[in-house]
Structure 1
Amino acid sequence: MFALLHETLNITAPVFAMLFVGVLLRRVQLIDAAFVNTASSLVFNATMPTLLFLGIVEADLSQAMQPKLLGYFAAATLGGFLLAWGWAILRCPREDRGVYTQGAFRGNNGIIGLALATSMYGDYGLSLGGVLAGAVILFYNSLSSVVLAVYSPVAKADVWSLTKSILRNPLIIGVLAAIPFAYFHIRLPAWAMTSGHYFAQMTMPLALICIGGTLSLDSLRASSRLAIGSSSLKMIWVPFFSTLGAYLCGFRGADLGVLFLYFASPTAAASFVMARAMGGNHELAAAIIVITTLAAVVTTNVGLLILQSAGVI
C-alpha cells in the first residue's frame, strides 16, 4: 500500500504543480483573463480532441474489447450521472446545476485512472484502461453536453439543439473520428503521429494552467459548499455504489480493480474547459477539480485496501 500511495502521489502531484504554476503566472501577470479564454478555447476545440483521437487510435482493441465490462461501465456512468443530477436539483441554484452534476460524475480516466490501472496491472491494465477510457469519453461528453446545455445561459435546451450540441462537440468528434482507424487498423504516417503527439501534449499543461489562472481565494470561498458537495459524490458515493454494483455483477480480480480505479478517479480537467465553453460557472468547476484531486490521494488508497483485504481484486 505504501508503494501504491507513492504511485498515486506521483500522478496527482504534477497536477497540483501545474495548477500552482497557473496561479503563480496569473499573480505575476504573465497570463491574464484573455490568455485563459484563448487557451481554454484552443484546448477544447483542438488539442484535447487530438489527444482523444490518438489515444483511441493507439489502443489495442483486440485484447481489451470486453462488451460486458464496457456495458456495465456505461450503465454505471449513466446511473452516477442521474444520481448527481437529481442531487443537484435538490441542493444547487439552477445556474450551477450543470457544473455541479458534471463535476460529480466525470472522472479523469484518461490520465489518472489509466496511469493507476497500468501501474497495478501492467499491459493488461493499459489495454483495458485505454479502450475503457475511449469508450466512456463518448458517454462523458454526451451527458455533459446535455446537462450543461440545459442550464447554460447561452445554449438552447430543446431536443434538436441538444442533439446538435452533442454532435458538434469537438471532443466527441475526436472520439468518433478515431473509431474507424482503430477498428480497421488504419495506420497514419509516422510524421503525422509525431506531429499529433506534439500538439496533443499541450493539452494537460494548458488546461491546468488555465484552471490555476482562474483560481482565487475568493472564488474558492464562494464555491466551497457546492464544490465540497459535488466532490463528495464524485470521490465517495459514486465509486462506492458503482463498485458494489460491479461486484454484484460478478466482476473480480483485475477487471474489478480497473473499474474501481476509473470510478474513483478525480474530476477531469476537461470539465473546466467544457464548463467555460458552455458559459457555466467555471470557477466552481475549477474548485471541484482541485478538491477531488487532493481527495484522490486518500480515497483511492483506502478503497483499494478494502478491496484487497476482501480478496476480490
Structure 2
Amino acid sequence: MDVVLQALVPVFALILLGQFLRRMHFPGDGFWPLAERFTYYVLFPAMLVFKLGSASIPPSAYGQLLFVVFALVGVMTLQVVVIQLFWKWPGAVFSSVFQGSLRFNTFVGLAAAGLLLGDEALSLFAVAIAIMIPLLNLLCILMFALVIGQGPVQWRSVFGTIIRNPLIIGSLAGAVWGFVGLGFHPLLVGFLAPLSSMALPLGLLTVGAGLQLKALRGASMPIAVSSVLKLCVFPVLAAALASLFGLEGLIVKVVILLAALPTASSAYILARQLGGDASLMAGIISGQTLLAMFTMPVMLSLLW
C-alpha cells in the first residue's frame, strides 16, 4: 500500500492543484482549454512515440493485451446492459452510465503507469490504450444510436475520428518504431525527451481544471452505480480474467490499472454532441476522479 500511495499521491495532488488554479482563474480561464488541446495533440503523442520507440516489448504481449482487453470490455458491456434491464433508465441517462462504467482517463493512466511501474509498464499501457480507445469509441457510438437514435450513425465520420486520434497515432508510430529497432539519434532524444517530460504534469493539471464540481450537487443513483462498476467491479473483473487466461507479471498489473481508472473526461463531449445527459456525465466524471483518489490505492494494493 505504501508504494502505491507514494506513486499515486503526486498524481492526484496535481489534479487537485489544477482544480485550485482553475478556481483562482490563474493563469486565466482561456489557458486551460488550450493547455488540454496542446497536451492531447502534441505532448502525449510525442511521449508515446518516445517511450514505445525506446521499449522492447515481446511480440506475445500484443496478442495477450488484445485478447484480455476485448474479453474485459465484452463482459463489462453485458453487465451494464443487464443492470439497465433492472433500472430501466431513460436513454440519455443510460448513455452516461454506460460511458462512465467503461471508459477510462488516459492522462491519469499514463501518469500512474509511469510512476508506479516504470517505462516498461508505460509502454505496455500505451499498447493497451491503442487497442481500447477505438473499441470503446465504436461501442459508445453504437450505444448512442440504439438508445437515443437521433438518426443514422455516420460510420465514415466515426472511423475517421478514431483514425485521427493522436493517442492512437502516437502509440502505433511508437510501437512500429520500437519493433523495427531504429532507436533514436541523440538530437531526436533531445527533442522528444523534454516534450515527454512535460506531458504528464500538464495533462494532470488539465484533468483537474476540467472537473465540474457543481455537477455533483444532488448526486444520483446513476453516478453511484457507474462509479461502483468502474472503480470496483471493473478492476476485480480484470484481475479475474487475467488469472483465467494465465497472464503473469507486469502485463497483469497494467490490465488491472487500466480497469481501475476513473472514466474519461472526453465522455462529456460525446454526451453533449450525441444527445446524452451531459450534466450527469459531468457529475460522473468529477465524482469518479475524486473517488479514485481512495479506490485506486485500495484496489491496486489488493489485486496486484
Question: TM-score per shorter chain, which class?
Answer: 0.7 to 0.9
Aligned to 2:275: none
Query: Which residue type is aligned with residue 179 of structure 1?
Result: A
CA pair 215-259 structure 1, distance change in 2 beyond 3 A: closer
Is the alpha carbon distance of 1:116 and 1:19 closer, same or farther for their aligned partners in structure 2, counting shifts above 3 Å? Answer: closer
State how many pairs are aligned. Answer: 287
Distance change >3 Å, CA 208–CA 286, structure 1 → 2: farther
Native 8 Å contact 1:85 1:97 kept in 2: no
Structure 2: segments with no counterpart, 5+ residues: 273-277
Residues in 1 aligned to 2:50 and 2:251: alpha-carbon distance in whole angstroms: 26
2:100 touches 2:285 (CA, 8 Å); kept in 1?
Answer: yes
1:133 corresponds to which residue? 125
Matches within 5 A, 1:178-197: 178-197=174-193
- Aligned to 2:217, the other structure's residue is in SS state helix
CA distance in 2: counterparts of 1:251 and 1:138, whole angstroms: 19
Q: Note closer, same or farther for the CA distance 1:198–1:110 as it changes in structure 2 (3 Å cut).
A: same
Post-superposition CA distance 1:230-287 (Å, at most 9, x none): 22112222222232233233345x367525643553236xx21x33664644733233
Residues 53 and 175, structure 1, Cα contact 8 Å, conserved in 2 = yes
Residue 262 of structure 2 aligns to a residue whose secondary structure is coil
**Which residue of the partner structure matches residue 230 of structure 1?**
226
2:110 alignment partner in structure 1 = 110
SS of equivalent residue, structure 1 residue 60: coil
Specify which of 8, 13, 21 is matched with residue 12 of structure 1.
8
Matched, 1:72 2:67: yes
Q: Does 1:207 align with 2:199?
A: no
TM-score normalised according to structure 2 size = 0.78
Distance 1:223 1:130, change over 3 A: same
Report percent identity of matched pairs: 21
Gaps of 5+ in 1: 119-125, 305-313
How far 1:183 moved relative to its partner? 1.0
Distance verdict in 2 for CA 1:142–1:245, change over 3 Å: same
Match of 1:266 among 240, 258, 261: 261
Give the aligned partner of residue 311 of structure 1: none
Within a 5 Å distance, the mapping from 1:1-313 to structure 2 comes to 5-62=1-58, 65-66=60-61, 69-80=64-75, 82-83=77-78, 86=81, 94-95=91-92, 100-107=97-104, 108-113=108-113, 115-117=115-117, 127=120, 129-149=121-141, 151=144, 157-221=153-217, 225-251=221-247, 254=249, 257-258=252-253, 261-267=256-262, 271-272=264-265, 274-275=266-267, 278=270, 280=272, 281=278, 283=282, 284-304=284-304
The superposition leaves residues 161-219 of structure 1 with CA deviations (integer Å, 9 ceiling, x where unpaired) of 22112111111111122222111111222222232221233323223222322335422
What is the aligned-residue RMSD (CA, Å)? 3.4
Q: Secondary structure at the match of 1:201?
A: helix
